Amino acid sequence: MRYFSINYFSFFIIVFFLFITSLSFSQSLDELLNKADQLMEFKYDNQKALDTLSQANKLYPDNWKVYSRLSRVYVYLSDSMPHNTSEEKDAQLAEYQKAYDYANKAVKLAPNKSVNYLRRAIANGKIALFKGVFSVAGVVNAVRADCEKAIALGNGNNYVQGLSHYVLARTNAKISEKWAPARAILGLGWASLDTAFVQYKKAIELYPNFRMFYLDLAKAYIREDEYNKAKGMLKKTIESPKKDQNDDSLLVEAKKLLNKIKNK
């Protein structure tokens, strides 16, 4: 009986020790989120970021911070997918849909956070561009509404707020390409290039030296034949440091565009 009691006690001690050890080796939520952020923002290793966030989702389920980042990484991964065949396009659209679904979950869990509306707007915007913005007016209107909500809440950092203004600017710029009366019939009569200019400039004010903002503002100026202003923005695009995984391709595009309009 005494032998059994000693072994039982020893077994309890071993189990308790293993439990404590497992806790010490498990990463905190903040550690996992910071790791994923570093992988996305500096190393541009989105697959490892997804693996890290998937681990976080298992350890800390139903967390809006995890869902918001999962939406972000699925957009990044989807952007780099091949889309030459119908099968590849279907696969890419399915990944964009995952990005939307995670952002939507984040919004439901934390409806007072700007970043969640931004992530949903970006995912929805990708879906709209994929399907054709004038064939999914409801999705486009949802993008606008989410951007405006993110801006109104105003509780994100300068990157989140700047990007919210940028997505709203780009939405206005894209939709305003179509003849106004035709847009109005679709329920998209609100879009204008003037609004796009205001929003682009606000995005740059909040988060300067971001190539994407300058390049798209330059394109808007070119639409208005304001070539000197466009050249200024293209030069700023070229001078700005790399901050995003797509910045290398944006740099090439800016140089080509600047050369194209150099005599205008």
pLDDT tens digit sequence for 23-80:
434 689 999 999 999 999 999 999 999 999 999 999 999 999 999 999 999 999 999 9
* Inter-residue contact 120 to 71 (CB < 8 Å): yes
Q: What is the mean pLDDT of residues 13-22?
A: 46
What pLDDT sits at residue 27? 87
Asked if residue 9 has pLDDT above 80, the reply is: no
Helix-strand-coil percent breakdown of the chain, rounded to 5? 80, 0, 20
Question: Distance between CA atoms of 21 and 26, rounded to whole angstroms?
Answer: 9
What pLDDT sits at residue 22? 43
Query: Which pTM does this prediction carry?
Result: 0.89
